Amino acid sequence: MDVGRASDGTSIHVAGGVFSQWPRVLIFSNLLAACEFFRTGLLGYLADASGSRLYGIELNCYKRQVETRALERLESSFLREISVFPRGTVHVDRTLLMRGIGHRWDNRGALCCG
């Protein structure tokens, strides 16, 4: 799946397939635990071009239908940023996929940075 390339050059490519059992080595004990973690953490902030203001956005889904995927390959220009993610700090071995869901992005205001 090619998610694409943003105007700033950020890109992501994901390849994988379905797995039938939840692996034992993951942080979450099962799919329900993973979904609950992300349900309570859907607020994020995006920096403006100057880095002086953060804009809050929150994903609200009307229906959750999550599929688990085994990860064969992940290429992400964002995760390659060593200044953000030092070597050895990111390990991705599975993906959670939501598709065909009704959702909206809600504005959560801006934060000023000094």
- CA 73: distance to chain centroid? 16
**What pLDDT score was predicted for residue 33?**
82
Whether 43 has a pLDDT exceeding 80, the answer reads yes
**What pLDDT score was predicted for residue 24?**
67
**pLDDT tens per residue, range 45-77:** 877 777 788 888 888 888 777 888 777 888 888
CA distance linking residue 30 with residue 37, whole number of Å: 11
Q: Is the dihedral of CA 42, 48, 50, 53 positive or negative?
A: negative
**What pLDDT score was predicted for residue 23?**
66
Joined together, the tokens standing for residue 7 give 């105007």
**What pLDDT score was predicted for residue 5?**
66
**What pLDDT score was predicted for residue 2?**
57
For the chain, what are the domain ranges?
2-112
**What pLDDT score was predicted for residue 51?**
73
CA distance linking residue 4 with residue 81, whole number of Å: 18
CA distances from 75 to 16, 40, 72 (A): 12, 27, 10
Q: In which order are the strands placed within the sheet that holds 53-61?
A: 43-47, 53-61, 103-112
Give the pLDDT mean for 35-42: 78
**pLDDT tens per residue, range 84-114:** 778 888 777 677 777 788 888 898 888 876 5
